[in-house]
Structure 1
């Protein structure tokens, strides 16, 4: 009889049974859906052979909980020691610990693309998310934008602005001169990094060194953005109903003012140029004569309005302020702290600085070129500090291309998220013997073959086309301010027996670098 019923009647009956079933057993059906999803996560992703924490294969909540603890980098190191080169840390996430996988995953033509973790870290301006070089997943957009601004980040262009950095170094030394006991040197190094970025971007300090504190709440804002990105980035689908909700900028237009980094950038631009009500940047010839990035990009817009847009200027400058301070400050703290915890290394470096100084080889402040030429041990110290304590503490995620890929001898299906964590790779004992030790000498005394292997495995700035564009800014700052600091002051820990604290919220921030300072004769 059922076969004689019209299709519409059968459909209606089926829908009716389903609706009544949902009403009668809502929790049973929901539980069934959840169970099916969990089973799919565990067994149908094509990576069941990859070992890892039992719970991680079932749900992304394991990864969220791990990041929430603020120690995910140490968890990752432990897991790779336990399971080997590949570790499954999510239903479709695989962490990789093999330098041979760097060109496979991050090579220029690898086909591996950024994941949904990255767009979370863009600004909202004019009621729209505005992607930057770091956050965009569009490779063509990245290439186009990089062509516009890459020259400003070249070491040649930055050294042209070295006097701006010298002004910040001189101000930092002056401020420290009057604060010699129980100085939170870690905070002052971050103030320095902020003000250097201000000079390079806007030809003016941001005010951190002058006030000795946070300016316009920017440090707090950045910390909040990083924490949000670290946690929500593990379950990026949530971003679309949270801060990434497209209705928010419309319903709450004031939310754009919550980002004090963006607000400060707009204010700094308006002191030199003028952002009109229609959102266009109005530039006059007498406003763009400097060597700083705002001058260069505003001048390019003046010469060819179609070459670089107002949006581009705002996005790149605000990104510099956001990303160029914390990462460099983390590296600076690592250098100082690890030297203080290893007195023999500190003595060796001081001896080289003093010898170069006595020979009249160092300017005041120390120049970048002088450090590269006359202080080779500092170059090794700097690199080893970034190896022991890289700034970024989570996976640099990429999507495996559609055809899949073989990584560490294991076939990984297309769509799987893979990546390398710098903390894991830098603790690979096959590449870096005794990785837990701070040994700058490894960069000076290793064989050419070993040195090449270590260089290829150094991941502090990422790899491939997405290597950190601000790398040269960090290298220049570190090469100048640390030798000058140690040249002028005897630095010691206020409490030598106390360890600093670290917290991994995307960037592995440190606290507790409290020092005593004494003027050196």
Structure 2
């Protein structure tokens, strides 16, 4: 009798669970405004395929394939749509857009005793975001850039010396370029570096940054899980130790600010930090210590990885294409040494090579997610309800054959006005998403480009470089797309 009763209730609960699951599947798929959006059926009912794609580090290729099959608008998840239509860029990312950042960005939010740390990467408050961009604008200006260049020169010389010592044997410059980028961004930000080029990851930052990037890539597809994971202090301590991941890096930025205040001066070339402190001294209300710390930390945390990714892409594609290598070397022969950013910035073919390298391999491999405003919006002919998560993946947009002819081929000439008409150039530049778009364009892009435009010609002037072990070159998409295995034989020219 008892067993019969248990069997009855067990079977009833099984039916209830199955009915609930079926209802959830139907609800997910037939959400208002979304069920007509093309895409695989499974993507419309669950986020699991998206999570697995991110976990395996191949979501950029999956997204490209889905767009080539389904068109400009593709459903990647129950409430997630990917867009590759250039006509929708301004609506989603333009200066006056009503679209705000999605919950994905909560995963990289940091908090202190005053609450949310005001990082431009995560801010959804437009007024605060505008203030943060404005109060550091002159530190990213052309004049500021030229002054900061002198801080990079010793780092550049150090890398050349190390590569000369390693001449005659294959060198994995993938890791060296990251060390160079880390030292360079420390130097321009604080006026000193930590000798990463010679000593490696002395501050133990790489592991933290990689863990955060991996976490964002996977858990960012199901951001509601964050509150059960790294958002909990106990979990964060278990993963990162007592430092809590980014706390040690924030503390480093704070200590550098305190040291810089004690020897503040307008004499000599100013660092990024010194320029912010001068802004504060002239107008204390314009920027506070907390905001200065955030800007400095952001330079280090984001600037090193993105620059290293860009450098690897430039060197890989240049060395893989002999005609590009030859033409670039010829253009570099006009440069005086040490190479100045001002001179290198005038070289048209070099500029085209950088642009094409960054098109082929953007540093961000996932969509820059936004939320449709409450009143809804029409995208690619579909009326979407407020709260729908949408975005453009730079890898998808950069492979659009309607914008970039033969998009899978490395062809720097496409960026030259002698090869492409003005209208097409404008269209390509509008779709160039390596540094983002609109108000959220990366503020530090010119620091990154300065590093690139100094070290690439410097190495090609000093060395004959040959790509070896090409099969070992690759990467996994973990939000950022850092490559590994860039093996090169370096032969000194002098």
Report the TM-score when normalising by structure 1: 0.87
- Which residue among 325, 328, 342 is the counterpart of 1:369? 342
1:300 Cα deviation after fit: 4.1
Flag the 1:347–1:128 CA change in 2: closer, same or farther, 3 A. same
Aligned partner (choices 113, 117, 121) of residue 130 of structure 1 = 117
My pick for the range that moved more, 126-135 or 49-58, is 126-135
User: Larger radius of gyration, structure 1 or 2?
Assistant: 1
Deviations 1:201-245 (Å, cap 9, x if unpaired)? 11101321131x112211111110000011111000001111113
Change (3 A) 1:104 1:286: closer
Gaps of 5+ in 2: 1-7
Equivalences for 1:81-160 in 2 at 5 Å? Answer: 81-126=68-113, 128-160=115-147
2:321 to 337, 342, 363: 342
Paired position in structure 2 for 1:472: 446
Given that 2:257 and 2:293 are in contact with CA atoms closer than 8 Å, whether structure 1 keeps it comes out as no
Corresponding residue for residue 201 of structure 1: 189
Q: Is the 8 A contact 1:118 1:137 kept in 2?
A: no
2:176 corresponding residue in structure 1: 188
Q: 1:431 aligns with which of 399, 403, 410?
A: 403
1:260-304 deviation line (CA, Å, top 9, x unaligned) = x54145235425616xxxxxxx94465886712222333444555
1:309 paired with 2:288, answer yes
2:253/2:296 contact within 8 Å kept: no
Where does residue 224 of structure 2 map in the other structure?
A: 237
| 1:296 to 2:275 alignment | yes
Tell whether 2:243 aligns with 1:257.
Answer: yes
Distance 1:185 1:164, change over 3 A: same
* Pair 1:502-2:475 in alignment: yes
The question of whether the paired residues in 2 share the 8 Å contact of 1:330 and 1:509 is answered with: yes
Cα separation, 2, equivalents of 1:192 and 1:409: 47
Mapping of residues 400-411 of structure 1, within 5 Å? 400-411=372-383
Check the 8 A contact 1:125/1:256 in 2, yes or no.
no
1:57 and 1:272 map into 2 onto residues whose CA distance is: 49
Q: What residue is the counterpart of 1:519 in the other structure?
A: 492
C-alpha distance in 1, partners of 2:240/2:408?
Answer: 47
The alpha-carbon deviation at position 256 of structure 1 amounts to: 6.2
For the aligned residue pairs, the C-alpha RMSD in angstroms reads 2.5
Counterpart of 1:363 in 2: which secondary structure?
coil
Q: Which runs of 5+ in 1 are unaligned?
A: 1-20, 275-281, 357-361
User: In the alignment, which of 423, 433, 436 is matched to residue 459 of structure 1?
Assistant: 433
* Farther off after superposition, 504-513 or 146-155: 146-155
C-alpha change, 1:83 and 1:111, in structure 2 (3 Å) is same
Partner of 1:267: 252
Cα gap change, 1:22/1:178 in structure 2, threshold over 3 Å: closer, same or farther?
farther
Match of 2:387 among 415, 418, 432: 415
Deviations 1:362-388 (A, max 9, x none): 232211111122x21111000000011
Aligned length: 483
Report what 1:67 is aligned to. 54
Residues 475-499 of structure 1 deviation map (CA, whole Å, 9 limit, x = unaligned)? 1111111011111111112325x25
User: 1:203–1:93: structure 2 CA closer, same or farther, 3 Å change rule?
Assistant: same
Could you tell me whether the CA contact under 8 Å between 1:199 and 1:205 is conserved in 2?
yes
Write out per-residue CA displacement over residues 439-463 of structure 1, whole angstroms, 9 at most, x where no aligned residue: 0011111111211111111111111
Distance 1:288 1:245 in 2: 43
| Most deviating of 45-54 and 192-201 | 45-54
Go from structure 1 to structure 2 and tell me whether the alpha carbon gap of 1:140 and 1:24 turns closer, same or farther (over 3 Å shift).
farther
